[in-house]
Amino acid sequence: LPEQPCRILDLGTGTGAIALALASERPDCEIIAVDRMPDAVSLAQRNAQHLAIKNIHILQSDWFSALAGQQFAMIVSNPP
């Protein structure tokens, strides 16, 4: 990604490991992380709080359901 502000989407974030690594590495970017499982969302939110990462939004959603009309510079996913 170019060194400029951007939006990145992590689909099926689970614990948030990938999204949190991206958010830490690219504080200029807004990271949106989604997972359909409430327990995973809760864990990812706790991990973000523990790491004091502010440029991440973690949502409970079934893939793109909560993201209608939004655009991203990159979409990542690491499904099981």
Structural domain contains residue 60: yes
Whether 25 is in a domain gets the answer yes
Whether residue 37 is contained in a domain is answered as yes
Asked if residue 2 is part of any domain, the answer here is no
On the question of pLDDT at 75 being above 90, the answer is: yes
18-66 pLDDT per residue, tens: 999 999 999 999 999 999 999 999 999 999 999 999 999 999 998 888 9
Residue 1 is assigned to a structural domain of this protein: no
- Parent domain of 61: 7-77
- How many structural domains are present in the chain? 1
End-to-end CA distance of the chain: 25
* Tokens linked to 51: 């790491």
CATH of the domain at 17: 3.40.50.150
